[in-house]
Structure 1
Amino acid sequence: MCSGGCAKCLGVTLIPLAVLCTIANILLFFPGGTVQDSNGISTEVWYFGGILGSGVLMVFPALVFLGLKNNDCCGCCGNESCGKRFAMFTSIIFAAVGVVGAGYCFIVSAVALNLGPKCLITNPVNGSKEWNYPFKDGNYLADHDLWRLCESPENLVPWNLTLFSLLLIMSGIQVVLCAIQAINGLLGTICGDCKCCGCCGGDGTV
């Protein structure tokens, strides 16, 4: 497959992933599907991993990848393949930006899954109600009986677990796709794009 065509496929895949990550992060602001004040929202949600990292920041690489297929590869310093090669080199930089953004979302999601959600619990010392993190080191993942420690909002644990797991998976896929484009861009920089302008010359000959 041409390096430009491969980049376009990656860009087409990254766009819906970015949208889904943004939606997942927004839903996390409504713990258990309810409206809460800032005290009732986990700190990790405010890091905007899905909105900024895998969302907004991922749009730029995706658009660049989409445009590579139609990029004019001719007319640069008398070398027809120079323009295409420069475009593919630029895509490596944007791929690195995508890896950073998706990697940020991946780390935030992993930390959030390990800590568990912030919820309304009964303080064992004075019996008062407070918003806090009742779980430690992901112990709630294997022991569903611990979920009852979260008294409110209802169904908060599966809500957070599902959404942060989706963010973890989707951001991981984004990292892989951007890494593939980094390799693809390197190959495109060295060899050019298919036979559009040739791999060794600007006259279409190989």
Structure 2
Amino acid sequence: MCTGKCSRFVGLALLPLAFIAIIVNLLLIFPNGETKWTNNITMQVWLMAGIGGAGLFMLCPSCNAIRAGGKGCCGEGCCGNRCRMLRSLISSIFGGLGSFYCVAVSGTALSNGPLCALTNQTGNAAQWGYHFKAMEDSYLFNKTSWDICVQPPNIVLWHIVLFSMLLGLGAIEFVLCAVQIINGLLGVMCGDCRKKENNNA
């Protein structure tokens, strides 16, 4: 595959992933789809790993990769698209950092568990905290332990599903950015093979 075609593929793949990550992070701000719990959400949600790291931060490498898949900066031939490939390479490095940030924050959130309230002796919800951090076994695969959190409703499942999505999105974006770094480096050194293809046609 030519470096230009590969760049365009990576850019077009990163673009929807970035928008999905933003939507997922926005959903985390409203546990159970309700606005009344926004004062009681985990710290990792406020770190905006999906909106920033895997979302807005990813738009620049995506757009640069798509542009690198077009004609060279001086038209067809000339610098052989090296200028755009160089910009794509540099922005992909920052994109990789953003996606790594998303993976790190999401992994920490899954490890710590959600911020939730237990039921006290009077039957009222109280004792807000990260109650799963103190457990010896992981809560992720122990569904019976999820019942200790009563507020927000279904917060454990909400937390696990959405942060798992962010973790996966961040990991995919990191791999794509790594591919584009290598592809961009080849594009800077060797140019775009599509010129040769056009000449042979």
Q: Report the CA distance shift for 1:120/1:87 in structure 2 as closer, same or farther (over 3 A).
A: same
Aligned equivalent of 2:101: 104
SS of alignment partner, residue 120 of structure 1: strand
| Superposed counterparts of 1:95-134, under 5 Å | 95-122=92-119, 129-134=126-131
CA distance in 2, matches of 1:74, 1:184: 20
Unaligned runs of 5+ in 2: none
Q: Report the CA distance shift for 1:135/1:102 in structure 2 as closer, same or farther (over 3 A).
A: same
Q: Report the CA distance shift for 1:181/1:45 in structure 2 as closer, same or farther (over 3 A).
A: same
Q: Given that residues 121 and 152 in structure 1 are in contact (C-alpha distance below 8 angstroms), is that contact kept between their aligned partners in structure 2?
A: yes
1:191 equivalent to 2:193? Answer: no
CA distance in 2, matches of 1:69, 1:172: 23
| Superposed counterparts of 1:60-71, under 5 Å | 60-71=60-71
Unaligned runs of 5+ in 1: 199-203
Q: Report the CA distance shift for 1:62/1:195 in structure 2 as closer, same or farther (over 3 A).
A: closer
SS of alignment partner, residue 140 of structure 1: coil
Q: Given that residues 80 and 191 in structure 2 are in contact (C-alpha distance below 8 angstroms), is that contact kept between their aligned partners in structure 1?
A: no
1:40 equivalent to 2:60? Answer: no
Aligned equivalent of 2:58: 58
Aligned equivalent of 1:93: 90
* 1:27-57 Cα shifts (integer Å, max 9, x gaps): 0011122223443111110000000000000
User: How far did residue 122 of structure 1 move?
Assistant: 4.1
CA distance in 2, matches of 1:135, 1:69: 47
Q: Given that residues 30 and 38 in structure 2 are in contact (C-alpha distance below 8 angstroms), is that contact kept between their aligned partners in structure 1?
A: no
Aligned equivalent of 2:147: 148
- Per the normalisation by structure 1, the TM-score is 0.86
CA distance in 1, matches of 2:120, 2:129: 9
Q: Which amino acid aligns with 1:194?
A: C
Aligned equivalent of 1:23: 23
SS of alignment partner, residue 118 of structure 2: strand
Q: Given that residues 53 and 105 in structure 1 are in contact (C-alpha distance below 8 angstroms), is that contact kept between their aligned partners in structure 2?
A: yes
CA distance in 1, matches of 2:94, 2:193: 26
1:168 equivalent to 2:167? Answer: yes
User: How far did residue 120 of structure 1 move?
Assistant: 1.2
CA distance in 1, matches of 2:6, 2:60: 17
User: How far did residue 164 of structure 1 move?
Assistant: 0.2
Q: Which amino acid aligns with 1:145?
A: T
SS of alignment partner, residue 166 of structure 2: helix
RMSD: 2.4
Q: Given that residues 72 and 82 in structure 2 are in contact (C-alpha distance below 8 angstroms), is that contact kept between their aligned partners in structure 1?
A: no
Aligned equivalent of 1:9: 9
SS of alignment partner, residue 70 of structure 1: coil
Q: Given that residues 14 and 62 in structure 2 are in contact (C-alpha distance below 8 angstroms), is that contact kept between their aligned partners in structure 1?
A: yes
% same residue: 42
* Aligned residues between the structures: 195
Q: Report the CA distance shift for 1:71/1:152 in structure 2 as closer, same or farther (over 3 A).
A: same
